Amino acid sequence: MNEEKIIIFDTTLRDGEQSPGAAMTVDEKLRVAKQLEKLRVDVIEAGFPMSSPGDFAAVQKIAASIKECSVAGLSRATSKDIDRAWEALQGAADPRIHTFIATSPIHMKHKLNMSPDQVVEAAVAAVRHACRYTSNVEWSAEDAGRSDLDFLCRIVEAVIAAGARTVNIPDTVGYTLPHEFGARIRTLRERVPNIDQAILSVHCHNDLGLAVANSLSALLNGARQVECTINGLGERAGNAALEEVVMAIRTRKDLLPFQVGVVTTEISRASKLVSSITGFPVQPNKAIVGANAFAHQAGIHQDGVLKEATTYEIMTPDSVGLSANRMVLGKLSGRHAFRDRLETLGYQLSQEQLDQAFRRFKEVADKKQELFDEDLIALVDDEVIREGEHYRLIRLHVASGTQDTPVAAVELDVQGERLRGASWGAGPVDAVFQAIAQVIPDLKQAGLQLYQVHAITGGTDAQGEVTVRLEKGERVAQGQGADSDVIVASAKALLN
């Protein structure tokens, strides 16, 4: 059977980063991009260059570093946006300009204040302008799920004639149901005379929990590119989850006779990396990458799996990069085993970084007898990758009890200067935050949007990972910290 290739377009670094609180630094984006390259996605949408200097820098750095994937930059349908996108992308091995304009009546009237004819004219002009730089041009019809079908056919034909070689049909607000979204794709295939000159793509949001279902329905009706994100990250309820789309195609060849180039054994690592950097934990029952995705508790399930795994597992843990026999390291483990495990988890550290990580590993191992993969990931991300931060926790003391007012004292390193602060609070974490605010007065004007704790592994000695999200004016910042003491982890997260 000849299986058609499905192009996997990952937009974790663009649409995924639009999740409130999921903003990434340039270096963090590059780490994710390199993991996506290992995953062998076809296209990495690195960002929206015109949106900010930081996004421009991230797209430019990723474009210069990634050689095995096409790198895309988003732009509105304006020459300034397209010029800026190309400026950031031109160092890429295979650059793609992705330009868009809204096509639904509600968007054209209330957001664009443009007539349908004006929208077609703007879309065609944008595509022609982008084609001056590259033949790899993608055009998207924002809110295509609610667009008039006759108008959608008209504008798709026009942009293909102008040079677009990928046409994306987004269900921007997650409104459609699988059967109607599939029918919409089929209609475009049937009614647009030059549709064979472009790849038909889809980008589905998950507002009704149907993003993956809509994406698969689109594939069955002629789409050949899926835009998706790691862990389903994205605005509002998120996007179609890359891992679910890919594993559905791999698992159900009988109904989805396609092939993808994704190295599925890198899925778990990609999921953990994105979760760690954004501070968005993966829910335990999340398909493919959740902690319980391959867990069996009911006796009848355990009995069946022990006799024949396929009784209850439609895919194997190792197919997504999960080892059934995870190596557990402890205080007696040596440097070689430690380095080998980090390399298996995808880390390439310098000798200095490795020495620093190993010292911290020994400190944690003295408190926690067994360290699992998740512990090592948190340790390296928290202690090594985020090294060089402006503020560093030197010492922390907290006193709290049922009859006492919680108090905290901290000592921080602020660019080489040792500063101390102390305060009381409603609880031990509040006291720590107030004490840190004595040293960093700007924190007094920041509002706490999110404080979240989750155990990295099981057991009462598990490391806790804390996520803190702050808001000051229009700026939102997020930090993470990990430690076997959740109060210490909370202080690290606030400083991060």
pLDDT, tens digit (0-9, with 9 covering 90-100), for 27-41 = 889 999 999 999 999
Q: How far is CA 257 from the centre of its chain?
A: 27
pLDDT higher at 146 or 350: 146
- Write the pLDDT tens digit of every residue in 465-477: 888 888 888 777 7
Residue 383 binned pLDDT confidence (cut-offs 50, 70, 90):
low
Q: In the chain, pLDDT over 70 holds for what percent of residues?
A: 93
Same structural domain, 225 and 372:
no
Mean residue pLDDT of the chain comes to 89
For residues 7-16, average pLDDT:
96
- Residue 389 has a pLDDT of 66
Query: In terms of pLDDT, which residue wins out, 262 or 323?
Result: 262
Q: Does 210 reside within a domain? A: yes
Same domain? 317 vs 331: no
Confidence (pLDDT) at 29: 94
Q: What is the average pLDDT across 370-386? A: 73
Say whether both 375 and 408 belong to one domain. Answer: no
Distance between CA 254 and CA 148 in Å, rounded? 34
Query: 380 and 482 share a domain?
Result: no
**Distance between CA 349 and CA 405 in Å, rounded?**
44
CA distances from 101 to 262, 367, 369 (A): 30, 55, 56
What does the pLDDT read at residue 325? Answer: 44
What pLDDT, on the 0 to 100 scale, is given for residue 355? 87
How much is the average pLDDT of 272-286? 87
Q: How many domains does the chain have?
A: 4
The residue ranking higher by pLDDT, 325 or 112, is: 112
Assign 243 a pLDDT band (cuts: 50, 70, 90): very high
Would you say residue 363 lies in a domain?
yes
- The CATH number that applies at residue 81 is 3.20.20.70
Task: Evaluate whether residue 287 is within a structural domain.
Answer: no
Which of these three, 387, 407, 429, is where a domain ends?
Answer: 387
- Same domain, yes or no: 156 and 267: yes
Q: For residue 285, is it within any domain? A: no
pTM: 0.83
Please, which pLDDT band fits residue 373 given cuts at 50, 70 and 90?
confident
Arithmetic mean of pLDDT, 92-103: 98
| Per-residue pLDDT, 252 | 96
Domain that holds residue 358: 326-387
Whether residue 156 sits in one domain with residue 19: yes
Average pLDDT over residues 374-380: 78
273 pLDDT above the threshold of 80 = yes
Assess if residue 23 is contained within a domain.
yes
Residues 189, 249, single domain; the answer is: yes
Within-domain flag for 148: yes
- For residue 98, pLDDT beyond 80: yes
Confidence of residue 461 (pLDDT cuts 50, 70, 90): confident
Whether the pLDDT of residue 341 is over 90: the answer is no
Residue 256 lies in a domain: yes
pLDDT at res. 13:
97
Burial code of 152-167, b = ≥16 C-beta within 10 A, e = fewer? bbbbbbbbbebbbbbb
313 with 233, same domain: the answer is: no
Final residue of a domain: which of 214, 249, 278? 278
Q: Which of 270-279, 327-336, 357-366 is the least confident region?
A: 327-336
Q: In whole angstroms, how far apart are CA 326 and each of 289, 295, 318, 321?
A: 16, 14, 11, 11
Residue 467: CATH number of its domain: 3.30.160.270
